[in-house]
Structure formats: structure tokens, C-alpha cells
Amino acid sequence: MKKILVVCSLILITFLIYQHGRAVWHPIAVKFMGKKTVAEVITALNSQTEEDLSPLFLKSGISYPPKKLALIAFKDTDILQVWAANGDNVFKKIKEYPILAASGELGPKLKEGDRQVPEGLYKVVGFNPNSAYHLSMKINYPNAFDLQHAKEEGRNSPGSNIFIHGKNASIGCLAMGDSAIEALFTLVYKTGKDNTKILIAPSDPSRVKLIPLAHSPDWVIELYKKINTTHKLITGKNNKL
């Protein structure tokens, strides 16, 4: 019986280290295995991503890769939608992916360590082909809006290093799973960071009226108005106001 308990404990500990200690052991593994470049990853994934996604774009009347791309994440339903547009800026919904993990509650991120996923309009500022979470795309949190209100409230550490990445564990990021991040990583790269918008909302504004939680700062009302406006511009849907 003791041997069984020891074996079970070792298995559990190994799993926890593998799942939640990736930031510690993965850099060591990369050092021995060698780093991959973004170009190498795109070359390896390009054919499969195009095979999977190009029929969906064709069906929507959007070129692949598109001229414009928008990734819209809803925190309450754990869904990330892919919207794309040609030069006419008329966006069409292409696909939905489940968000496999995202910590925190509804409401914006306020400080380092609060485990919150940010809310607002962001852009991709970097690709990491050697992420501890398979592949990752860094977003520009905190953006100018976040920094302005953090400064006004004396929050010197509003947080940083927010990513859309693979695997199924996350603290403040959007974990999409490996196959989904492979497609998104390739799609955003081929579309271009400057042509891609990232909108993270507490809920789908066309389905639910965005109401700040009771303990939210006053400026969250302004934030949700911005999210409403951006969502309507991308989707063309009438939001619940």
C-alpha cells in the first residue's frame, strides 16, 4: 500500500511540475534542444494552417491571408472568435476557438499578480517560437489607456507579460491549446501584427450588456464603452446598451 501511495505521489508531483513548472524547466530543455526561429515555425506550420483555414476564408469571401484580422475573446464563455476583412474593412466571422484556461474573474487587470486577464483593445507586439507554452504571442498590456489610469490611481505595477499561448494552463493569459495556437500564430504572422486587433471583453456585448462589477473603478464604464464601440465596428452587431 505504501509503495502504491509513493508511486501515485511521484506521478502527481511529476505532473504538477510538468504542467505548472514549465517556466522553470522549459528554458533548460530549449538550451539543450536548440532554439527555433519564427521563420522555422511558420515554415513548418504554414501548409497545415492554410489547408485548415483557407476553405473557411473562401467560404466567407475573404482572402487568405486576410488584409485585416481581429481576434475577439469573451471571458465569461471562454471563446475566442476570429474575424477577418479584405481591403473594404467589412469583417466576417471565420472561426471560433475554445479558450482552455484563463484565470481571474470578469473585470480588467489592475496589478501584477492579481491573476486577471486584461480587458480592452490590444495588439500583438511579439512572437515567441520557444515559449514554455508551445508558442505564444505577446500583447501590449498595459496599453496607453491602462497606463493612464494606473498612474492616476498610483498603481506602479499594473502587470505585464500577457500572452495568447498554447497548452491548457494560465495565470492572466489566454491558453488556447497547442493546435489552436499553431493556427493563430501562423495566421497573425502572415496577416501582420500591425493589421491585427485583439479585443478582450468580459462578455459578448451583442448578447449581454456590459456592466462593471460593484467594486470596479469608475473608469471601467469608459472602458466598456470603448469595447462596445470596437466590437460593433468589427462585427456590425447591435450591442446591448
The pLDDT averaged over each successive group of 10 residues in the chain (241 residues) is 54 48 49 78 96 96 97 98 95 98 95 96 98 97 97 95 96 97 98 98 96 94 97 89 67
Question: Quick one: pLDDT at residue 1?
Answer: 62
Question: Quick one: pLDDT at residue 18?
Answer: 47
Question: Quick one: pLDDT at residue 71?
Answer: 98
pTM of the model: 0.86
Question: Quick one: pLDDT at residue 3?
Answer: 61
| Complete edge-to-edge strand list for the sheet that includes strand 136-139 | 124-128, 136-139, 163-165, 174-175
Question: Quick one: pLDDT at residue 32?
Answer: 47
Check residue 213 and report its DSSP letter. -
Segment holding 11, helix H or strand E = helix 2-20
Question: Quick one: pLDDT at residue 15?
Answer: 44
